[in-house]
Chain A
């Protein structure tokens, strides 16, 4: 497949600190790939290196087997939204997109197409400086789509979007991936990826933590736990503990049990004639898995003394 992004031992140092350290991963077409990590993990630096804006200290990153800097024109190959603020506020959206289209020898009709696609047709003649963050995000997405490229990069694209906008972006990403494109989307919020990505590249402090399907990632995080509600929590807790479970009492009638399956808990309760009002398995949330895996690599911890 042509349009893959391949990073190989990618490293970027600023002085003595490594923003990105020996990163190796592959992003394939046909999927939405989430690029996750806490703030300061090196996501933006990596995306900038993919787009040739920053040069790696060592290692390589290629798109379709070529370093992006080696291409004379970029919009037909990779569309990128790195920062919605990377525009000149003095121009209209139409002027902004038209000059970019001209530079890449794209038909100027593409400008109207992408403006329609992102819903900015009505305001296309207004100066970008007066746009809200959400409108700038839409303009950034329009810019990325301008050259109809097989590879798309988005850095925190959901910032500033309203719920309707978030839904729209998710549908757009899925459609772009279904068309056979490579879609690489960064975020520091796991919950944003939960309904968007199929595959995850997770980094922390510039190093790779995981590169696997979303389902595999969420499964490896937290142990399963079971919520049980009963009028006799003390009695049930005693027998469950004797069966080897760990039990926590959350509310007067509610227990959180780990170490036993919900089937086994039901059997034990039946054997001991304990009435159950609720028995539910809590699957590990992606957020939990993410927090657990990146806990060691959080750059700026709240309350951390510098």
Chain B
């Protein structure tokens, strides 16, 4: 029997591996999930709505405010309504959870094995995921921060107490709010890589970002240091504008510094990503 078989030549040259292919792939991986698109959109709407509601409360209560409050309202109180403490906590919760789900969804479903069989360079793949997540969450942070400011000031301008972004200190505060989003998402991603289990990882992110800061106080030195090392406190420090910055600092026995607060906002995500990159390479899947 004669069989004519076309035997393939498999020696064909492989194109060079490029990091941007991984970025494109990870972007598709994130954005092709309906749940993630929903979480991002819903999170943005909720944060803006919280701030709009705060501004609307001021708008409604304005006739009842004392003359002293009315005199001091611009810019400090106008600004407070543009991005409230509560809205920051909710944003941390959403972005931390989005970062966690971005990896835990992959571990939990087994997709991670398919991904790493396609790209054995695990660190490169995770670095691409971190980069895509950072970009997406930075856009999220900027849109949410700017959107909150615009909506709240539009409402307050109905009482003639809206302010402009050109007021001193406001840009710094908005920038701190914007970068808080990717910082929390990367911490979430890292915990997802470490823990790999959906509910446990999400719970841990919430505990680490929102509950742990509650254990520390400002009145003892070391406790204050740890408190200032928390993302939420670093954000709060940078968010205060000079008009109320003095009063805020005066209450504190051990005040933080702007440089220190920026360092905290930078170190959390950097350490988180480094830990994730080390761990992902060493574990069996």
Contacts and interface: CB of A to CB of B under 8 A. Distances in A.
B24 interface: yes
A86 B29 contact: no
Interface stretch (B88-96, B108-116, B175-183, B233-241): B108-116
A95 B111 CA distance: 13
B251 interface: no
Contacts of A219: none
B120 A69 contact: yes
Interface residues of B, number: 41
A54 B15 contact: no
Contacts, number: 122
A86 B111 contact: yes
B25 A99 contact: yes
Given A2-B10, A72-B120, A91-B32, A105 B111 contact: no
Interface range on chain A (Cβ under 8 Å from partner): 35 or more
Interface stretch (B1-9, B78-86, B206-214, B257-265): B1-9
A179 interface: yes
A185 B202 CA distance: 38
B106 interface: yes
Contacts of A181: 8, 10
Given A71-B120, A74-B119, A180 B113 contact: no
Nearest to B22: A103
Given A53-B284, A90-B35, A179 B7 contact: yes
B125 interface: yes
B270 interface: no
A137 interface: no
B71 interface: no
B21 interface: yes
23 contacts: A30-B7, A48-B113, A48-B284, A52-B116, A53-B285, A54-B284, A55-B284, A72-B17, A72-B119, A76-B14, A78-B117, A83-B110, A86-B114, A88-B105, A90-B32, A90-B35, A100-B25, A100-B118, A143-B114, A178-B5, A179-B5, A180-B7, A180-B8
A70 interface: yes
Interface of A: 2-3, 30, 48, 51-55, 68-76, 78, 80, 82-83, 85-92, 95, 98-100, 102-105, 143, 149-150, 178-181
Contacts of B21: 102-105
Interface string B22-55: 1011101100111100000000000000000000
Given A54-B285, A82-B117, 15 more contacts: A51-B113, A52-B116, A53-B116, A54-B284, A68-B120, A72-B17, A73-B121, A74-B120, A85-B109, A86-B112, A87-B114, A90-B34, A103-B21, A179-B8, A180-B10
B229 to A, nearest CB: 35
Tell me the interface secondary structure of chain A in the complex: loop
B113 A83 contact: yes
A95 B32 contact: yes
A75 B17 contact: no
Contact of B25 (A51, A72, A103): A103
A198 to B, nearest CB: 14
Contacts of B124: 72
Contacts of A104: 21, 118-119
B118 A73 contact: yes
B245 to A, nearest CB: 45
Contacts of B34: 90
A143 B110 CA distance: 14
B6 A73 contact: no
Contacts of A92: 32
Contact of B106 (A83, A88, A149, A178): A88
Contacts of A76: 14
Contacts of B5: 178-179
Contacts of B125: 103
B64 interface: no
B234 to A, nearest CB: 34
